Amino acid sequence: MLHIKEVTVQNGSFSLSLDLPQMSSGIYAMIGPSGGGKSTALASIAGFQSLRSGAIFWQGRDISTDAPARRPVAILFQDNNLFPHLSIERNVALALTPRKQLTVEQRSKVSDALDRVGLSAHGEKKPAALSGGQQSRAALARILLQDKPILLLDEPFSALGPALRQDMLDLVAEIARERQTTVIMVTHTLSDATRIAKDIIFIDHGKADHPVATPELLENPPEALRQYLGNDAGST
């Protein structure tokens, strides 16, 4: 269980308050207008942003002061998920060790992960030699190896075409189901949210609403969400 308890964050003149009790495994979509606080919310869960007040608990333990790497959190960005000068294999292996030399066991884990995302033939290549979709898969392979119970997705796969993106989202959903992961996905695209998310968190003006089950929310959207959807979410 992830519990975000009365958290507030101050970033320059922007402030955000989050209060999301008891989030169990499954996929949560976080939607809302730009500048509403989505990215800041992810950053504070991942540990890139220190909290002004409140706390974040995982399985009852306060993780709010842990360094990013020590949190039970993996994160996938919109872009720049791979280090361009390292091979795909090395990029994925960073989840296990920063060393250049891999043990036999590590090597087999890496190749299993690459297998799982369908990139076994590309381990030696540099990211630039891969297509956008393949790059996303490579990043996902690393997430698999990191094996964290919480996965944060910051507008994932938005550089990909719609078909490819749906494939990737399905893959994420499959992995999350398998591993009982709690996924929080920031997205601009309502169709992405409805495709895989069980709950939706609407966030605007630095304030997050409690998660609402996706079908319920769509049936009876609050005014702010309606406006937002009317303006720029429909487009994709």
Binding site for another protein (CB under 8 A): 11-12, 43, 46-50, 67-70, 73-75, 77-81, 83-86, 94-95, 98, 126-128, 146
Nearest residue to 2 (alpha-carbon basis) of 64, 69, 70, 56: 56
**Least distance CB 50 / another protein (angstroms):** 5
Give the C-alpha distances (Å, rounded to integers) separating 169 from 90, 176, 183. Answer: 24, 10, 12
Instruction: Tokens for 110, please give them.
Output: 């890496």
How many Cβ atoms are within 10 Å of 11's Cβ, its own excluded?
Answer: 16
**Least distance CB 110 / another protein (angstroms):** 14
CA–CA separation, 7 and 27 (whole Å): 21
CA–CA separation, 151 and 149 (whole Å): 7
Question: Closer to another protein at the Cβ: 32 or 127?
Answer: 127
Question: Closer to another protein at the Cβ: 80 or 101?
Answer: 80
Residue partners of 158: CB distance under 8 A and separation at least 6: 78, 165, 187, 188, 189
Question: Closer to another protein at the Cβ: 119 or 217?
Answer: 119
Question: Closer to another protein at the Cβ: 68 or 215?
Answer: 68
